Chain A
Amino acid sequence: MSIDLKTVKHISKLARISIDDEKANKLKGDLNNIFEFIEKLNELNTDNVQALTSIAETTLRFRKDEIKSENIREKILKNSPEENKDFFVVPKVVE
């Protein structure tokens, strides 16, 4: 199969990365080369194979539900791109 320009634009929309036509064309070429390489997997019959979802053969641990009270508001907001001591600031979303 091959990936057309429309698909590239659709993926970029899903990935929330804006691209212009020139970049989209370049990406189309790259992605087609990469998928040609990836499609080698179709040679294999995997009908009766179970998907490997976790390499570490352990079940997830439970921990005690404890309150670790530490005021980290400042720490969390410290790297915020637009300064405001109480909130993260974004462009207006409600008209």
Chain B
Amino acid sequence: MSDITSQSLFELTSNIKEKKLSSEEITKAFIDRAEKSKKLNVYVTDNFEKAIDQSKKFDSNPNFDLKLPGIPIAVKDLFCTNGVRTTAGSKILNNFVPTYESTVTQNLWSQGAILLGKLNCDEFAMGSSNETSFFGNVQNPVGENLVPGGSSGGSSAAVAANLTPVTIGTDTGGSIRQPASFTGTVGLKPTYGSCSRYGIVAFASSLDQAGPMTKNVRDCSMFLEVISSFDQKDSTSIDYKRNCYSKELSKDIKGKKIGIPKEYRVDNMPDEIEQLWKNGISYAKDCGAEIIDISLPHTNYALPTYYIVAPAEASSNLARYDGVKYGFRSPGQNLIEMYEKTRSEGFGDEVKRRIMIGTYVLSSGYYDAYYLKAQKVRQLIKKDFDDAFSKVDAILTPSTPSSAFKIGEKTNDPVSMYLNDIFTVPINLAGLPGISIPAGKDKNNYPLGLQVIGKPFDEQNILNISYALEDKINFKNDISDWWLSE
């Protein structure tokens, strides 16, 4: 048997069910490795002691019918966990201990999973490098001083470094797929309405979705099955019949029509990414898929649209952090001064910047010029995809315009940081499912990802295409454990 922490979710659940491993052995193995991996800074809060107790409890009365029987899992620190501190990577929630549980994490525990701890992320999920976190940046296990992507950077690093078998991230503009691409892991953003938003610290409510981050596509299908559910507590949760994704997982994609959008061939895109894309196309052909050139004419307008819509929603969502009911408070002479000081000291620079953008585009006299305009362009972007999906079953693109960059490289230039999400943002604007799978490496040996985009609620199809491509690509993430300490 291979080392416990390097096993996939599929292997771990099989080994538990066949009684080759106990939940306690597995849980302790992940905790031991975490103790030696502090340099990566993936954890904001650990739950190790309780996790061991719970694993013993599971072993004393195991239920092997569950989908995550006694499996320890760490989650992004954006999910409210009852009794366990939830910070969203922000000083303003530094001392916040929820008294309720998010629906998607509740789904994990209901299927037998055990909480290992809460993973670092960009503050309020606003960032593409995990550098905006109040709790410091995360190291990418792929190489020292490299960002793990963001905002689910602690999550992507934890999966790549074998610190959790799988995890859940959230994706508002690419926050699952971009970090997955940067770390050689798999990340899926489900259709808007597939996973409940209840109990997730809100960033931009019309874009936010939770989704699985895993070592491979099969694990991704198993995990999606657990977290996707209809929920009365989320008014935009959609009631539809969800597939048994892992059971219906198949490499047979013969005859599937896969679209290649010409607008994703952007200026200054490295040759390696162009090559990676070509390889993906030829693998898809090898599998019997039909390749069709398509056009998504408003692609270039997606990022500017996103940087109106997302900050507008964020400025409204983050109005609740006023120092009155929970979280950090800075004292003031009067109520207004307390609000202003609390928010000034409690939020980091990027969050403040986005609240300011959002406040401005929603303010009197500018609403029509910016916010309404952006909502109209969002309609055009969605229509691009509707038109494309009348001709094809799925769309194949690169996940990101570059591989992981160095820590500090882009922190002084917000716009260059925003450009990271150029291939992922349109999918959120249109509410579609998208998955990033590792597909190759650049000249520095850093991973690069390919993205498969599907029709609404067609997660099965993009999982199957990814499963077939994964087999052909045969990606190996050679991570040297350079960060381990004794």
Question: What are 20 A-B pairs with beta-carbon distances under 8 A?
Answer: A7-B360, A11-B363, A15-B356, A18-B343, A19-B352, A30-B414, A37-B307, A37-B415, A41-B301, A44-B377, A46-B373, A51-B375, A55-B430, A60-B235, A63-B232, A75-B100, A76-B325, A88-B324, A90-B335, A91-B338
Contact between chains at B344 and A19 (CB < 8 Å)? yes
Within 26-78 of A, Cβ neighbours of B (below 8 Å) are at 27, 30-31, 33-34, 37-44, 46, 49-56, 58, 60-61, 63, 72, 75-76, 78
Contact between chains at B377 and A41 (CB < 8 Å)? yes
Would you call B374 an interface residue if the criterion is a C-beta within 8 Å of the partner chain's C-beta atoms?
yes
Chain B residues, Cβ within 8 Å of A2: none
The docked-state distance in angstroms from the alpha carbon of A12 to that of B21 is: 56
Residue tally, chain B, CB below 8 Å to A: 69
Would you call B270 an interface residue if the criterion is a C-beta within 8 Å of the partner chain's C-beta atoms?
no
Contact between chains at B355 and A38 (CB < 8 Å)? no
Which chain B residue lies CB-closest to A45? B376
Binds A, one of B136-144, B172-180, B378-386, B394-402: B378-386
Contact between chains at B356 and A11 (CB < 8 Å)? yes
Knowing A19-B344, A33-B414, A63-B232 touch, does A49 contact B370 (C-beta < 8 A)? no
Would you call B79 an interface residue if the criterion is a C-beta within 8 Å of the partner chain's C-beta atoms?
no
Q: A residues bordering B, Cβ < 8 Å?
A: 3, 7-8, 11-12, 14-19, 27, 30-31, 33-34, 37-44, 46, 49-56, 58, 60-61, 63, 72, 75-76, 78-82, 88, 90-93
Contact between chains at A31 and B360 (CB < 8 Å)? yes
Contact between chains at A93 and B335 (CB < 8 Å)? yes
Contact between chains at A55 and B206 (CB < 8 Å)? yes
Knowing A17-B355, A46-B373, A93-B335 touch, does A82 contact B329 (C-beta < 8 A)? yes
> Majority SS of interface residues in chain B?
helix
Q: B residues bordering A, Cβ < 8 Å?
A: 95-97, 99-100, 192-193, 206, 232, 235-236, 238, 298, 300-301, 303-305, 307-308, 315, 319, 322-329, 331-341, 343-344, 347, 352-353, 355-357, 359-360, 363, 370, 372-380, 382, 414-415, 418, 429-431
- Most chain A CB within 10 A, of B100, B329, B429, is at B329
Knowing A38-B308, A49-B380 touch, does A18 contact B344 (C-beta < 8 A)? yes
Contact between chains at A91 and B326 (CB < 8 Å)? no
Smallest beta-carbon distance B254→chain A, Å: 31
Q: Which 7 A-B pairs have the closest CB atoms?
A: A79-B326, A55-B431, A51-B375, A81-B329, A18-B340, A46-B376, A75-B99
Knowing A37-B304, A40-B301 touch, does A16 contact B415 (C-beta < 8 A)? no
Contact between chains at B339 and A16 (CB < 8 Å)? yes
Chain B residues, Cβ within 8 Å of A37: 303-304, 307, 415, 418
Contact between chains at A17 and B363 (CB < 8 Å)? no
Contact between chains at A93 and B379 (CB < 8 Å)? no
Smallest beta-carbon distance B312→chain A, Å: 11
The docked-state distance in angstroms from the alpha carbon of A8 to that of B357 is: 10
Smallest beta-carbon distance A10→chain B, Å: 8
The docked-state distance in angstroms from the alpha carbon of A38 to that of B322 is: 29
Contact between chains at B353 and A27 (CB < 8 Å)? yes
Chain B residues, Cβ within 8 Å of A56: 192-193, 236, 238, 431
- Which among B300, B357, B375 is the interface contact of A53 at CB below 8 angstroms? B375
Knowing A16-B336, A40-B301, A80-B326 touch, does A50 contact B355 (C-beta < 8 A)? no
Smallest beta-carbon distance B317→chain A, Å: 13
Knowing A52-B376, A81-B329 touch, does A61 contact B360 (C-beta < 8 A)? no
Chain B residues, Cβ within 8 Å of A58: 193, 236, 238
Chain A residues, Cβ within 8 Å of B327: 79, 81
Chain A residues, Cβ within 8 Å of B356: 8, 11-12, 15, 17, 27, 31
Contact between chains at A31 and B357 (CB < 8 Å)? yes
Which chain B residue lies CB-closest to A49? B376
